[in-house]
Amino acid sequence: MRQSSRAAVAALAAVTANAASLADVCTVSNVQSALPSNGTILGINLIPSAVTASTANTASSGGGGPGGMKRADSTTYDYCNVTVTYTHPGKDDRVVVKYAFPSPEDFENRFYVAGGGGYSLSTTATGGLEYGAVGGATDAGYDAFTYSLDEVILDGNGTINWDNTYMFSYQALGEMTKIAKPLTRGFYGLNSEKKIYTYYEGCSDGGREGMSQIQRYGDEYDGAITGAPAFRQAQQQVNHVYSATVEHTLDYYPPPCEMDKIVNATIAACDPLDGRTDGVVSRTDLCMLEFNLTSIIGQPYYCASENYTSLGFGFSKRAEGSTTTYQPAQNGTVSAKAIEVAQTIYDGLHASNGKRGYLSWQIASEFSDAETQYDSSTASWALDITSLGGEFVTKFVQLVDLDNLSNLDGVTYDTLIEWMDIAMYRYMDSLQTTIPDLSTFEQSGGKLIHYHGESDPSVPTASSVHYWQAVREAMYPDSSYTDSLQQLADWYQLYLIPGAAHCGTNDLQPGPYPEDNMQTMINWIEKGVKPSRLNATVSSGTYAGETQMLCQWPSRPLWQNNSTFSCVHDQKSLDTWDYTFDAFKVAVY
Ligand SMILES: *[C@@H]1O[C@H](CO)[C@@H](O)[C@H](O)[C@H]1NC(C)=O
Ligand SMILES: *[C@@H]1O[C@H](CO)[C@@H](O)[C@H](O)[C@H]1NC(C)=O
Ligand SMILES: *[C@@H]1O[C@H](CO)[C@@H](O)[C@H](O)[C@H]1NC(C)=O
Ligand SMILES: *[C@@H]1O[C@H](CO)[C@@H](O)[C@H](O)[C@H]1NC(C)=O
Ligand SMILES: *[C@@H]1O[C@H](CO)[C@@H](O)[C@H](O)[C@H]1NC(C)=O
Ligand SMILES: *[C@@H]1O[C@H](CO)[C@@H](O)[C@H](O)[C@H]1NC(C)=O
Ligand SMILES: *[C@@H]1O[C@H](CO)[C@@H](O)[C@H](O)[C@H]1NC(C)=O
Ligand SMILES: *[C@@H]1O[C@H](CO)[C@@H](O)[C@H](O)[C@H]1NC(C)=O
Ligand SMILES: *[C@@H]1O[C@H](CO)[C@@H](O)[C@H](O)[C@H]1NC(C)=O
Ligand SMILES: *[C@@H]1O[C@H](CO)[C@@H](O)[C@H](O)[C@H]1NC(C)=O
Ligand SMILES: *[C@@H]1O[C@H](CO)[C@@H](O)[C@H](O)[C@H]1NC(C)=O
């Protein structure tokens, strides 16, 4: 029977929510009556006449954004496809939010927010269906379903569109979540006090977006899972120009094969330092302390010619997807100059006066940003500025509508620090996303699982460690180190994933990857089962199928007898993760 009267549905739902069918509740009038009325959410006026609602179904989307790494799931979910539109009072703007409501019998009192990636917010609302959760996706007022931020940040040369910038940075997701709670209760006919467990999951910029939510809307989220957050945007994005600047400064543009060889040789040398020879450098800190890259000088490398497809990380929608370039065969021995490039990159950005500007990728990570391009006219390797960094400098720092820097003429390490400085002040309260005071989130019972691949070649792993450290210091200034660790672990846990790359496994290191973070989080929030290790599974190589319970930072894995590992305290190793960015005059969290 199809109900058409909202009152009848509400009465039915109120008595026994699970007895209503999807068709019963998936009506425009049911959604309209569930909308929070104007004035109840400050700064948001919903427009009832713009509501749409229709039943739909989808195969599991595997939410979590890029790097969610969820297992493929062939289940099909029926849901109610809803769009609501709101305006900010006093502005004649329109923000469209899609929500996906599971069938009443599948709904488990949850709301799920998936992160996006690059400069895109998530464009799908269905990621929560497999958890019995309502999900949402917002167009952020600038048609974010179609455009990425880098396409709409400038109204014209020199003019930043701040509405778009703030909406992307944190506001659009926060508003979407605020609307979702009353809307969900109304939709299913629940009591206005009914708890709606609210989860966030995302990686890369999706990780940054998650951090933005718990920093800004701490009491809206129960559990957040943030991977490899691309936060500290000013430093993070300009740093994507660092590798090319090293090559430019040292005037050496290595054949990609030579850099690949350095990475392979480093992995081979450092793999056993963690106590097990499995192709995985689980302890990049020991590698940093005990391995000298110069020992690779003279080792032969060879790569056959190929039409090389570089994946990029899709920060810009326009540049998204792969680009294919021709690479001739490369045959040689690793030069001292290439080792100098590698060492300088791993050392991280320093000003000419020696002060530190930023941290770097862990030793044994790939040199993705150092990729050169082959110039067939001169038969030599040449500068290739990754557009991730180049575009940030042109659009976000220089404010000109160009997709990349055209060259690095006159650019020094000091220039990079200057660009970071400009961007840090400019976007301090939007994109930077490093507020270390998480009191609201902590006090309202929020829990955070933060993870990061230890061989991430895009967002440096130490970037996550630095933020964890900043939060620990901000939250527990008066506690001893040991006490602060215990208190922090009650609600914020950081896990480094041995060998893993950016939001995923690493072709060069067959290590573990966590795949059921949401289950872990749901158990923590809804059943009070606090994790102490993170469940991860090895998906390739000799140990494929092995489960590894990852060590919680700051404890570090150490294998015994190639078979089991313990989580140990190693101060000398921990010290290698500690950074002070004294090239800046303000604290960098
Ligand atoms: C709330 O405000 C919006 C725009 O200000 C208006 O379009 C809408 O009709 C209002 N909602 C109600 C229920 O009056
Ligand atoms: C959901 O509804 C919107 C608005 O009517 C529509 O544009 C969209 O195609 C629908 N999506 C699906 C998957 O049905
Ligand atoms: C590095 O190792 C990978 C994976 O083992 C291999 O495919 C690649 O050819 C190696 N590259 C070089 C330059 O040795
Ligand atoms: C690595 O070895 C080279 C050559 O022996 C030496 O000059 C350099 O200081 C060493 N580096 C470190 C960090 O020990
Ligand atoms: C690369 O692509 C070109 C053009 O499609 C083709 O002629 C060439 O054989 C390819 N080379 C390799 C090594 O795949
Ligand atoms: C690489 O160069 C060396 C020295 O010139 C040569 O002996 C070797 O055969 C070459 N390897 C390949 C695969 O071409
Ligand atoms: C800028 O980025 C584009 C796209 O990635 C790339 O093709 C181009 O080579 C870059 N420009 C320079 C000067 O490196
Ligand atoms: C914006 O500035 C860039 C770089 O100077 C220039 O190439 C472009 O034409 C300018 N765009 C407009 C619309 O003026
Ligand atoms: C670990 O995750 C896998 C799925 O990836 C799951 O099958 C297994 O039950 C989990 N183990 C624990 C101890 O949570
Ligand atoms: C661990 O495995 C490696 C490679 O299989 C082997 O060389 C080494 O001796 C083993 N170590 C122990 C303690 O068994
Ligand atoms: C180490 O591993 C070997 C082979 O798996 C086993 O025979 C030996 O008992 C183990 N030793 C210890 C101390 O666990």
Please indicate, yes or no, whether residues 157 and 15 belong to a single structural domain of this protein: yes
- Print the domain residue range for 378: 236-269+283-414
Q: What's the total number of domains in the chain?
A: 2
Average pLDDT, integer, range 488-512: 98
Q: Which residues contact 54 (CB under 8 A, 6 or more apart)?
A: 26, 80, 81
Please indicate, yes or no, whether residues 136 and 257 belong to a single structural domain of this protein: no
As for ligand 4, residues whose beta carbon falls within 6 Å of it are 292, 294
Out of 368, 390, 414, pick the residue that ends a domain. Answer: 414
pLDDT in tens, 445-456: 999 999 999 999
Given the residues 24, 260, 285, 456, the one annotated as active site: 456
Please indicate, yes or no, whether residues 153 and 7 belong to a single structural domain of this protein: yes
Confirm or reject: Cβ of 403 under 6 Å from ligand 8: no
Which listed ligand is nearest to 49 at the C-alpha?
A: 1
Please indicate, yes or no, whether residues 162 and 262 belong to a single structural domain of this protein: no
pLDDT at 59: 78
Among 397, 399, 400, 404, the mutation site with the greatest number of ligand 8 atoms within 8 A of its Cβ is 400
pLDDT in tens, 25-81: 999 999 999 999 999 999 999 999 999 999 999 976 554 443 444 445 568 999 999
Please name which of 512, 504, 500 lies closest in space to residue 538, comparing C-alpha atoms.
512
pLDDT in tens, 347-383: 999 999 999 999 999 999 999 999 999 999 999 999 9
Please indicate, yes or no, whether residues 328 and 250 belong to a single structural domain of this protein: yes
Confirm or reject: Cβ of 516 under 6 Å from ligand 9: yes
Average pLDDT, integer, range 237-266: 98
Out of 414, 435, 463, pick the residue that ends a domain. Answer: 414
pLDDT in tens, 504-560: 999 999 999 999 999 999 999 999 999 999 999 999 999 999 999 999 999 999 999
d(CA 583, CA 62): 42
Q: Is residue 532 part of a domain?
A: no
Q: Is residue 6 part of a domain?
A: yes
Q: Is residue 365 part of a domain?
A: yes
pLDDT at 316: 44
Given the residues 120, 148, 204, 360, the one annotated as active site: 204
Please name which of 9, 96, 89 lies closest in space to residue 50, comparing C-alpha atoms.
96
Confirm or reject: Cβ of 305 under 6 Å from ligand 6: no
pLDDT in tens, 263-287: 999 999 999 999 999 999 999 999 9
Confirm or reject: Cβ of 304 under 6 Å from ligand 5: no
Please indicate, yes or no, whether residues 305 and 399 belong to a single structural domain of this protein: yes
Distance 264 CA to ligand 10 centre (A): 19
Nearest residue (by CA) to ligand 3, atom 3, is 508
Q: Is residue 188 part of a domain?
A: no
Only one residue has tokens 């026994």, namely 16
Q: What type of residue sits at position 288?
A: M
Please indicate, yes or no, whether residues 261 and 404 belong to a single structural domain of this protein: yes
Please indicate, yes or no, whether residues 358 and 245 belong to a single structural domain of this protein: yes
Q: 69-73, 163-167, 171-175, 336-340 — which is least confidently predicted?
A: 69-73
pLDDT at 326: 86
Q: Is residue 362 part of a domain?
A: yes
- 60 labelled catalytic: no
Among 308, 385, 395, 406, the mutation site with the greatest number of ligand 7 atoms within 8 A of its Cβ is 385
On the question of pLDDT at 338 being above 90, the answer is yes
Q: Is residue 179 part of a domain?
A: no
- 204 labelled catalytic: yes
Please name which of 396, 431, 449, 427 lies closest in space to residue 209, comparing C-alpha atoms.
431
Q: Which residues contact 515 (CB under 8 A, 6 or more apart)?
A: 69, 70, 71, 535, 536, 537
Q: Is residue 254 part of a domain?
A: yes
Out of 414, 434, 463, pick the residue that ends a domain. Answer: 414
Nearest residue (by CA) to ligand 2, atom 2, is 81
